[in-house]
């Protein structure tokens, strides 16, 4: 999940890829859905969230962008 161990494994060629969620976005969408439900609106039971695939080609940029060491 985009952990430093997983990112380093991708960087070292030990794993082909890892994936990362965006916890801020997950929280934001969760609160929005809770508010909608509290106001009586119908909401979907399933919500798709974007994930980031991190490969050897993108690991350095991802680590720099997210300040993961």
Alpha-carbon distance 58 to 69, whole Å?
15
User: What count of other Cβ atoms lies within 10 Å of the Cβ of residue 38?
Assistant: 8
Alpha-carbon distance 27 to 35, whole Å?
12
Q: Tens of pLDDT along the chain (69 residues)? A: 688 999 999 999 999 999 999 899 999 999 999 999 999 999 999 999 999 999 999 999 999 888 776
In this prediction, residue 69 carries a pLDDT of 66
In this prediction, residue 5 carries a pLDDT of 94
Nearest CA-CA partner of 15 in 3, 23, 27, 25: 3
pTM, two decimals, is 0.74
Contact 55, 16 (CB under 8 A): yes
Q: What DSSP state is assigned to residue 58? A: T
């Amino acid at each position: 999940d985009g952990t430093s161990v997983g990112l380093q494994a991708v960087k070292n060629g030990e794993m082909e890829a890892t994936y990362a969620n965006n916890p801020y976005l997950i929280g934001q969408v969760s609160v929005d859905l809770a508010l909608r439900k509290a106001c009586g609106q119908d909401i979907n039971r399933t919500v798709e969230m974007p994930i980031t695939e991190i490969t050897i080609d993108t690991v350095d940029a991802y680590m720099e962008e997210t300040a993961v060491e």
